[in-house]
Amino acid sequence: LENSNSIEGVKGLTYRRGNDIFSNERQQIIHDINELPFISRDLLKDNKLKYADISTSRGCTRNCSFCCSPSFWSSEGSKWRGRDIFKVVDEIENIISKYGVRYFSFSDNSFEDPGINCKKVQNIAEEIIRRNLNICYFINLRAEFQRKASPQLMELLKKSGLYSVYIGIEAANEHDLRIYNKFAGIEDNEKIVELFRKYDIHVDIGFINFNPYSTFEGLRKNMNFLERHGFATCFPHASRYRIYKGSGLYERIKSDGLLKKTRFDDEFSYEYINKEIEKLANFLENYIFSYSAESYKIYFYSHDYIILLMYLKRQFESGEKNEAYRIVVENERQVKEVLSDLNRRNSKSFSLLIDMAEKAWDEKIAFSIMEDIVPQKHIQKAAAILDSYRVELLSNISRLGPEYSRYFIT
């Protein structure tokens, strides 16, 4: 571009010329990604960031219908490509040495892939421990991981620094799981949450509560799961399928004539089979958006803040730090009490909305239900209380001495 040369031969490039859009030939896939150098970490250096993303692979061995990963990464018969685990840990060690970062997020579609066994997961954990890296890290997993995870592996993961997992649950009813082409079943979804909580590892979930083919029975089963495991504190009960062109579910929606003609970037440009469910989904989206600032704050406390408390508990478990441990445990109890109340309220309001929508949708009744059970003033108050608990924690821990401040991410 700088030399005014043609871009017609640049592989993998899509561009506009006049009113036309052109897509050049795709780049050839890099089969051995171990050939690639460590990625640039300018962002860490320039912004003094406290955590780093890292990848052990590209692609995914599954084929969920809502996901565009297969069309993005898969080419020339290759669905998944992995890195040598020693090079992965070399990169972690390099980042620690150069930037002082000890918080890592593994960005793999699913950390357990290639999925044949848990050898890769085990080897990475063992190598982190062998090098005594003392890190905190987060991973993405599929629910069927629970079938292969032994108690020994779970202890190993915890010891190596695993603090949080993101599980692609997506649904808690068989109807939707089939639509999403999920390999995991209902039992997997239940057991994976219980498994990681048993080892005091935080669990966050991917969840698609609404899709064009949703049923009232499916929504009730979804809500029961979310409430039972405490996931109804914020967004999941209102989450909707987002269109990714090239995914299997997009093609099905298109084939069934459910696509709407809207903006090209409208992620929800589809109709529902059941129009009353469509009204319910739209209502929840708009209602929650109306107090989005507080909603995101609630999400922060149910996710990031709880992870911080789990991290602090592990750091303060030793005898000389018992007072600090007691402070963190009490703070966690207070925070979870607020979140538990929100979980109950959201579940109750959603259940009533489902009952009403199944008979006949009424916008006024819907607003009345929300304002009676989970009014915006209550959400604002809950967010303010959680803020006060966070300030209280920082204040109480800092009183114990300046050496404790190093445990907090600034």
Strands 103-106 and 162-170, by their bridges, are unpaired
Type and span of the H or E element at 323 = helix 322-359
Provide the pLDDT for residue 180: 97
* DSSP per-residue string spanning 250-288: HHHHHHTT-B----TT-TT-B--SSHHHHHHHHHHHHHH
Q: How far apart are CA 103 and CA 126, in angstroms?
A: 17
Q: How far apart are CA 95 and CA 89, in angstroms?
A: 10
Strands 14-17 and 57-59, by their bridges, are unpaired
Report helix angle 363-373 to 322-359, nearest 10: 160
Provide the pLDDT for residue 410: 46
Distance of alpha carbon 322 from the chain centroid:
32
List residues bridging with 58 in a β-sheet.
81
Provide the pLDDT for residue 389: 97
Q: How far apart are CA 332 and CA 327, in angstroms?
A: 9
The Cα-based distances of 372 to 27, 29, 89, 243, 319 in angstroms read 56, 55, 52, 33, 47
Provide the pLDDT for residue 339: 97
- From first to last of its 410 residues, the chain has per-residue pLDDT tens of 899 999 998 999 999 989 999 999 988 888 899 999 999 999 998 998 888 999 999 999 999 999 988 777 766 656 899 999 999 999 999 999 999 999 999 999 999 999 888 999 999 999 999 999 999 999 999 999 999 999 999 999 999 999 999 999 999 999 999 999 999 999 999 999 999 999 999 999 999 999 999 999 999 999 999 999 999 998 667 799 999 888 999 999 999 999 998 877 888 999 999 999 999 999 998 888 777 788 889 999 999 899 989 888 888 887 667 899 999 999 999 999 999 999 999 999 999 999 999 999 999 999 999 999 999 899 999 999 999 999 999 999 989 888 787 776 54
Provide the pLDDT for residue 408: 66
